[in-house]
Chain A
Amino acid sequence: MMITRRRALVGAALSITLLATGCSNADDPEAGGAAATTVSDADVQAALTAGGELTVWAWDTTLTKVVADFQVKYPKVKVKLVNAGQGNDQYTALQNAIAAGTGLPDVAQIEYYALPQFALVKSVADLNTYGAASLESTFTKGTWNAVRSSGKIYGFPIDSGPMALFYNKEVFDKHQIAVPTTWEEYAAAAEKLHKADAKSYITSDSGDAGFTTSLIWQAGGKPYTVKGTDVTVNFADAGTQKFAAQWQKLIDGKLLSPVVGWTDEWYKGLGDGTIASLVTGAWMPSNLESGAKAANGKWRVAPMPQWEAGGKSTAENGGSSLAIPDKSTNKTLAYGFLKYAAIGEGAKSRVDNGAFPATNAELNAPEFLSKEFPYFGGQKVNEVLAASAGQVVSGWSYLPFQVYANSIYGDTVGKAYIGQGTLQDGLKSWQEASVKYGQEQGFTVK
Chain B
Amino acid sequence: MVTRRSWIGWQFTGPFLAVFALVFLAPIGYSAYLSVFRTRLVGGTSFVGLENYTKALSDPQFWEALSRVTLFLAVQVPIMLGLALLVALAIDSGRLYGSGFFRVAIFLPYAVPAVVGCLMWGFLYSTRFGLVGNLNEAFGVTLPEPLSPDHILTSIGNIVTWEFIGYNMLILYSGLRVVDTALYEAAAIDGAGQFRIIRAIKLPALRGPLVVATIFSIVGSFQLFNEPQILDSLAPNSITTYFTPNVYAFQLSFLGQQINYSATIALIMGVATMIVAYVFQRRSLKGVA
Q: B129's contact among A92, A265, A411, by CB below 8 Å, is which?
A: A265
A417 touches B41 (CB 8 A): no
Confirm or deny: B177 has a beta carbon within 8 angstroms of a beta carbon on chain A: no
Q: Which residue of B lies closest to A199 (CB)?
A: B128
Given contacts A260-B234, A265-B126, A408-B241, contact A19 B40 (CB under 8 A): yes
A206 touches B237 (CB 8 A): yes
Q: Report chain A residues within 8 Å CB of B242.
A: 411
Kindly provide the distance from the CB of B260 to the nearest chain A CB, expressed in whole angstroms: 8
- A-side interface residues toward B, CB under 8 Å? 7-16, 19-20, 23-24, 26-27, 92, 120-121, 206-207, 229, 259-260, 263, 265, 268, 400-401, 403-404, 407-408, 410-411, 414-415, 417-418, 420, 437, 440-443
Q: B233's contact among A9, A404, A415, by CB below 8 Å, is which?
A: A9
Q: Report chain A residues within 8 Å CB of B39.
A: 16, 19-20
Confirm or deny: B14 has a beta carbon within 8 angstroms of a beta carbon on chain A: no
Q: Is the interface of A mostly helix, strand, loop or mixed?
A: loop
Confirm or deny: B43 has a beta carbon within 8 angstroms of a beta carbon on chain A: yes
Number of interface residues of B (CB under 8 A): 34
Q: Report chain B residues within 8 Å CB of A206.
A: 236-237
B148 touches A441 (CB 8 A): no
Q: Report chain B residues within 8 Å CB of A260.
A: 233-236
Given contacts A265-B126, A420-B149, contact A24 B44 (CB under 8 A): yes
Docked Cα-Cα span, A15 to B45, in Å, equals 11
Q: Which residue of B lies closest to A16 (CB)?
A: B39
Q: A16's contact among B45, B232, B255, by CB below 8 Å, is which?
A: B45
Highest count of chain A CB atoms <10 Å: which of B37, B128, B239 = B128
A229 touches B42 (CB 8 A): yes
Q: Report chain A residues within 8 Å CB of B238.
A: 418
A26 touches B240 (CB 8 A): no
A7 touches B126 (CB 8 A): no
Q: Which of B209-255 contact A (CB under 8 A)?
A: 232-242, 251, 253-255
Docked Cα-Cα span, A262 to B128, in Å, equals 16
Q: Which of B115-161 contact A (CB under 8 A)?
A: 126, 128-129, 148-149
Q: Report chain A residues within 8 Å CB of B129.
A: 265, 268
A27 touches B254 (CB 8 A): no
Confirm or deny: B284 has a beta carbon within 8 angstroms of a beta carbon on chain A: no
Kindly provide the distance from the CB of B143 to the nearest chain A CB, expressed in whole angstroms: 16
Confirm or deny: B174 has a beta carbon within 8 angstroms of a beta carbon on chain A: no
Q: Report chain B residues within 8 Å CB of A400.
A: 41
A437 touches B256 (CB 8 A): yes
Highest count of chain A CB atoms <10 Å: which of B34, B43, B232, B233 = B43
A401 touches B41 (CB 8 A): yes
Confirm or deny: B69 has a beta carbon within 8 angstroms of a beta carbon on chain A: no
Q: Which residue of A lies closest to B55 (CB)?
A: A440
In the complex, the 7 A-B pairs of residues with the closest C-beta atoms, listed nearest first: A11-B255, A23-B44, A442-B42, A442-B43, A414-B237, A442-B40, A11-B254
Q: Which of B25-43 contact A (CB under 8 A)?
A: 34, 37, 39-43
* New A-B contacts (8) at CB < 8 Å, excluding given A24-B44, A92-B254, A407-B241: A10-B254, A15-B259, A23-B42, A26-B43, A259-B128, A418-B149, A440-B258, A442-B41
Confirm or deny: B257 has a beta carbon within 8 angstroms of a beta carbon on chain A: yes
B40 touches A440 (CB 8 A): yes
Q: Which residue of B lies closest to A437 (CB)?
A: B256
Kindly provide the distance from the CB of B48 to the nearest chain A CB, expressed in whole angstroms: 12
Given contacts A418-B148, A420-B149, contact A7 B236 (CB under 8 A): yes
Kindly provide the distance from the CB of A122 to the nearest chain B CB, expressed in whole angstroms: 12
B237 touches A20 (CB 8 A): no
Docked Cα-Cα span, A263 to B233, in Å, equals 8
Given contacts A19-B39, A26-B44, contact A265 B128 (CB under 8 A): yes
Docked Cα-Cα span, A12 to B235, in Å, equals 22
Q: Report chain A residues within 8 Å CB of B42.
A: 23, 26-27, 120, 229, 441-443
Q: Report chain B residues within 8 Å CB of A411.
A: 240-242
Q: Report chain B residues within 8 Å CB of A8.
A: 255
Kindly provide the distance from the CB of A380 to the nearest chain B CB, expressed in whole angstroms: 35
Kindly provide the distance from the CB of A159 to the nearest chain B CB, expressed in whole angstroms: 25
B43 touches A410 (CB 8 A): no
B45 touches A404 (CB 8 A): no
Q: Report chain A residues within 8 Å CB of B254.
A: 10-11, 13, 92
Q: A14's contact among B37, B41, B232, B241, by CB below 8 Å, is which?
A: B41
A407 touches B234 (CB 8 A): no
A26 touches B41 (CB 8 A): yes
Docked Cα-Cα span, A121 to B240, in Å, equals 29
21 A-B pairs in the complex with CB atoms less than 8 angstroms apart: A10-B254, A11-B251, A11-B255, A12-B255, A13-B255, A14-B41, A14-B257, A15-B259, A16-B37, A20-B45, A23-B40, A265-B129, A404-B256, A410-B236, A410-B237, A410-B239, A411-B240, A411-B241, A418-B148, A442-B43, A443-B41
Given contacts A20-B39, A24-B44, contact A13 B237 (CB under 8 A): no
